[in-house]
Homo-oligomer: A and B are copies of this chain.
Amino acid sequence: MDALAIQQIRQFNRTVTEGIGALHDRFLGRARPLGEARLLWEIGPEGAEVRALRSRLGLDSGYVSRLLRSLQRQRLARVRVDPGDRRVRRADLTRAGLAERAELDRRANDLALHILEPLSEHHRAALVAAMTEVERLLQASMVHVAVEDPTTPDARWCLEQYSAELDDRFDAGFDPALSIPADAHELVPPAGAFFIARLRERPVGCGALKLHRDAPAELKRMWIAPAARGLGVGRRLLQELERHAREAGAAVLRLETNHALTEAIALYRRSGYLEVDAFNDEPYAHHWFEKRLSRNHRRRRSVARTAE
């Protein structure tokens, strides 16, 4: 694997963590312990349920309880019982707490300004552009794909997004009732599988398989959130779907699609799918594709694996 690339990433990590990290401490000014500051920030102007704070920050319930008491003692936050469910508490910020949060916000801005300030206009623009690029690609690298239950709220959300997008892009709109169904019960083992691609817990794409004993497997419901497009998420999702289908014993994976979905069609072609005659009567489809899943495609823990 490319040793130079690895060295560059390590160098980048050093520069960013030491450089920005040191600045961060100087600007965010460790006047307040980090835990309190994070909590103060996370409560936000609207307030939040204590249990939500706990899960968002990944902290122990006892610890959050004590941090909140400390914020209360400093008259920065209030904690009250939720009238709806009297087990849960809601935290919100006092005027002083809001001011303190605004101050944190201001300091974070100052930090960014302090980085830009010494640079010329030209270099500033270059830095912001390069940062945008690094951030996008890091996010791409942090996307994980996993089989999930198609009935969870996240899964339903993805499927709704999928339908809404088709409705928006198809010339005649999209009514799931007129299309060949792929209901939840068909997308759980052993009949099929439902995959969600997530970026830090948030769903950014989905895809599903319908498995048929000896007949080709079918690829359904593939969708990538607009914000995650162009990052290779579709390619990775497709690879996972193919791997799953292969491991489930399918020799061929096939799919139908609409001519409005140009990026998807390009992805399928790029990934080795060949256009074939219509193999079903899906009313929204214009193209039918299939791909033979090679059996000997070993899954090695090597980087070369994902090379295009």
Q: Bound state CA distance, A15 and B131, in angstroms?
A: 10
CB within 8 Å of B: which of A115-149?
115-124, 126-128, 130-135, 137-143
In the complex, what residues of B have CB within 8 A of residue A112's CB?
A: 5-6, 9-10, 13
Q: Which of B15, B115, B118, B141 contacts A119 (CB 8 A)?
A: B141
B109 and A10 form a contact (CB under 8 A): yes
B132 and A119 form a contact (CB under 8 A): no
A135 and B5 form a contact (CB under 8 A): no
Residue A227 interfacial (CB < 8 Å): no
Q: Bound state CA distance, A24 and B2, in angstroms?
A: 20
In the complex, what residues of B have CB within 8 A of residue A306's CB?
A: 117-120
In the complex, what residues of B have CB within 8 A of residue A18's CB?
A: 200
A120 and B235 form a contact (CB under 8 A): yes
Q: A134-B134, A140-B123 are in contact. Are A6 and B113 (CB under 8 A)?
A: yes
Residue A1 interfacial (CB < 8 Å): yes
Q: A120-B232, A236-B118 are in contact. Are A12 and B141 (CB under 8 A)?
A: no
Q: 4 tightest A-B contacts by CB?
A: A130-B133, A9-B112, A127-B137, A12-B131
Q: How large is the interface on A (under 10, 10 to 19, 20 to 34, 35 or more residues)?
A: 35 or more
A135 and B12 form a contact (CB under 8 A): yes
Residue A19 interfacial (CB < 8 Å): yes
Q: Bound state CA distance, A305 and B38, in angstroms?
A: 34
Contact with B along A12-33 (1 / 0, CB 8 A): 1101111111001000000000
Residue A262 interfacial (CB < 8 Å): no
In the complex, what residues of B have CB within 8 A of residue A200's CB?
A: 18-19
Q: Bound state CA distance, A232 and B21, in angstroms?
A: 23
Q: Bound state CA distance, A307 and B306, in angstroms?
A: 43
Q: Which of B15, B133, B141, B236 contacts A115 (CB 8 A)?
A: B141
CB within 8 Å of B: which of A255-308?
303, 306-308
CB within 8 Å of B: which of A177-228?
200
Residue A252 interfacial (CB < 8 Å): no
* 18 A-B pairs with C-beta separation under 8 A: A2-B124, A6-B116, A8-B131, A8-B132, A13-B108, A13-B111, A16-B134, A19-B200, A117-B141, A119-B137, A119-B141, A119-B232, A120-B232, A120-B235, A122-B308, A123-B140, A127-B137, A127-B141
